[in-house]
């Protein structure tokens, strides 16, 4: 739902009633991840997508029905062996979709409105919705903020028990910290409502950071592809003659500063990627010595294999451990035979994507590996457990 937050927030401000269909679970080669959404208003206007076209017509009908009767519904769509073009996923996957009416006077509307407003303002937020459990709880929503605060709009708690609110807020907060969207499973004992519950937790966080060190022509190409992939991109170099906004018009920030000094003072997190393109020891060594000790998603460095070996020895002499050194992706990028700055940027972006999604980087033709590699985490626990997939930006 939060992937179409801007448009939905506008509908809320205009006072429109609408129904929103959200992918809550996927299996196989489903085309859209959990959290993907489609919405329909009372005039029949449609925004978003849940399947790239496979089941949109059927989901549209479910949305119009939900607007009429005011009842949420959970529907499963899968591949049809009898007729690949029937209502189903011709790609062979399965999706479960929650269709939820959002009408004036609905108790969930203020909660969803707050979540949409936060996402539209660029603020981090998570919304947890019950997608499986007692019928009277289906579709109820809880908004969770980064500071641990939450709101539910329901007397006695959104799951009919205040303790459940606190449990879900804590679990959803972990999703939010990681910028993830996925499902949360709570046992009968933990739910306090006499039945197990499954919730969809949608996280929205500001775009992850890509920091490119080295104001060279390869950096310009990497900035463009980084923006295309949804990163907030910073270019940093100590040489002011090269490090200008005119050379990197698509960068969000252009910083003239020694790379390691900038990295010491800027904020990074578990989604940040660091691309070191300077291949100059006076920049690389102090920068990588710091970078390899930070809790970031990816650290890559450009250079030939000879440069790589020399740099590794210098880093060891600077006190970098073998465990820290093992985090370094060098030479940076996948083997695509790249030569131009644009091809090299594609090579780097491909490695970042494979590392982020758990991909192997091998051709899909002839391979027997899954097409989608979204990593799951968490286990079922005594009172609650979590399973998350995807990485929401």
Binned at pLDDT 50, 70 and 90, residue 140 comes out as: confident
- As a whole number, mean pLDDT of residues 72-90 equals 59
More confident residue, 61 or 383: 61
My answer on whether 263 and 341 are in the same domain is yes
Q: Is residue 318 part of a domain?
A: yes
- As a whole number, mean pLDDT of residues 192-210 equals 86
Most confident of 6-15, 155-164, 219-228: 219-228
My answer on whether 18 and 85 are in the same domain is yes
CA 104 vs CA 6, 58, 59, 151, 234: distances in Å: 19, 25, 22, 18, 43
My answer on whether 196 and 275 are in the same domain is no
Q: Is residue 1 part of a domain?
A: yes
Which range marks the domain in which residue 175 is found?
107-206
pLDDT value, residue 40: 94
More confident residue, 93 or 199: 199
How close are the terminal C-alpha atoms of the chain, in Å?
13
Q: Is residue 173 part of a domain?
A: yes
- C-alpha dihedral sign at 60, 66, 67, 68: positive
Q: How many domains does the chain have?
A: 3
pLDDT value, residue 372: 60
Q: Is residue 370 part of a domain?
A: no
Q: Is residue 251 part of a domain?
A: yes
Binned at pLDDT 50, 70 and 90, residue 386 comes out as: very low
pLDDT value, residue 351: 95
Share of the chain above pLDDT 90, in %: 42
- As a whole number, mean pLDDT of residues 181-187 equals 86
Assess whether pLDDT exceeds 90 at residue 334. Answer: yes
Indicate the SS3 state at residue 182.
strand
My answer on whether 256 and 152 are in the same domain is no
- Which H or E element spans position 13? helix 5-13
My answer on whether 340 and 232 are in the same domain is yes
Q: Quote the CA–CA distance of 72 and 43 in Å, as a whole number.
A: 19
Binned at pLDDT 50, 70 and 90, residue 374 comes out as: low
pLDDT value, residue 91: 55
My answer on whether 336 and 247 are in the same domain is yes
Q: Is residue 347 part of a domain?
A: yes
Out of 148-157, 233-242, 283-292, 322-331, pick the least confident.
148-157
Assess whether pLDDT exceeds 90 at residue 268. Answer: yes
Q: Is residue 288 part of a domain?
A: yes
- Model confidence, pTM: 0.63
């Amino acid at each position: 739902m939060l992937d179409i937050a801007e448009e939905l927030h506008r509908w809320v401000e205009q006072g429109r009633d609408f129904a929103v269909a959200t992918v809550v679970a996927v299996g196989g080669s489903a085309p859209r991840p959990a959290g993907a959404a489609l919405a329909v208003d009372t005039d029949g206007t449609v925004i978003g997508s849940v399947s790239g076209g496979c089941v949109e017509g059927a989901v549209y009908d479910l949305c119009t029905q939900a607007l009429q009767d005011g009842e949420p519904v959970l529907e499963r769509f899968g591949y049809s062996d009898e007729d690949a073009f029937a209502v189903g996923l011709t790609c062979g996957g399965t999706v479960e979709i929650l269709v939820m009416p959002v009408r004036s006077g609905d108790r969930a509307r203020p909660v969803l409105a707050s979540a949409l407003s936060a996402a539209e303002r660029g603020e981090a937020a998570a919304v947890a919705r019950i997608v499986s459990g007692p019928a009277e709880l289906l579709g109820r929503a809880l908004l969770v903020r980064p500071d641990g605060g939450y709101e539910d709009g329901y007397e006695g708690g959104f799951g009919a028990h205040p303790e459940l609110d606190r449990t879900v807020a804590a679990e959803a907060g972990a999703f939010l910290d990681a910028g993830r969207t996925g499902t949360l499973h709570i046992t009968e004992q933990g739910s306090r409502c006499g039945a197990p519950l499954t919730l969809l937790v949608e996280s929205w966080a500001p775009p992850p950071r890509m920091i490119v060190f080295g104001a060279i022509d390869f950096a310009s190409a990497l900035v463009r592809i980084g923006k295309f992939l949804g990163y907030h991109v910073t270019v940093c170099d100590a040489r002011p003659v090269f490090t200008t906004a005119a050379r990197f018009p698509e960068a969000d920030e252009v910083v003239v500063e020694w790379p390691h000094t900038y990295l010491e003072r800027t904020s990074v997190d578990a989604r940040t990627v660091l691309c070191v393109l300077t291949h100059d020891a006076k920049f690389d060594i102090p920068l990588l010595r710091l970078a390899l000790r930070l809790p970031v998603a990816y650290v890559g460095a450009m250079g030939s294999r000879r440069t790589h070996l020399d740099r590794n020895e210098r880093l060891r002499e600077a006190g970098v451990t073998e465990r820290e050194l093992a985090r370094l992706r060098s030479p940076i990028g996948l083997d695509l035979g790249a030569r131009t700055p644009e091809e090299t940027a594609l090579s780097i972006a491909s490695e970042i994507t494979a590392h982020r999604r758990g991909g192997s980087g091998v051709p899909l033709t002839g391979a027997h590996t899954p097409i989608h590699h979204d990593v799951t985490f968490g286990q079922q626990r005594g009172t609650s457990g979590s399973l998350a997939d995807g990485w929401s930006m």
